[in-house]
């Protein structure tokens, strides 16, 4: 799911439309990514839930800090 590099916070409908699968299959993919430790749910409840690729966010945050230092 390369799109997580560009969109590290996702919800089921976005995954379904991006990957071109049904909502049920998108949820299966999300569940597998959660089990693999790639996604973490950041909202309560599965319906309209939002999941985040925390490692991607961490790397982007670290890059932003380094980029800010270079500009000063």
Which CATH number belongs to the domain containing residue 60 in this structure? 1.10.10.10
pLDDT at 57: 95
Q: Is the pLDDT of residue 72 over 70?
A: no
Contact 12, 1 (CB under 8 A): no
* Rounded Cα gap, residues 9 and 56, in angstroms: 9
Instruction: Give the chain's domain count.
Output: 1
Q: Which domain holds residue 43?
A: 2-71
Residues 6+ positions from 22 with CB-CB distance below 8 Å: 16
For the entire predicted model, the pTM comes to 0.82
pLDDT at 61: 93
pLDDT at 9: 97
pLDDT at 48: 82
Per-residue pLDDT band at 69 (split at 50, 70, 90): confident
* pLDDT tens, residue by residue, 20-43: 999 999 999 999 999 999 999 999
């Amino acid at each position: 799911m390369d799109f997580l590099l560009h969109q590290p916070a996702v919800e089921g409908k976005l995954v379904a439309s991006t990957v071109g699968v049904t909502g049920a299959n998108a949820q299966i993919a999300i569940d597998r990514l959660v089990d693999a430790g790639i996604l973490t749910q950041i909202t309560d409840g599965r319906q309209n839930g939002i999941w985040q690729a925390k490692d991607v966010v961490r790397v982007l945050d670290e890059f932003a800090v380094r980029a800010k230092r270079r500009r000063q």
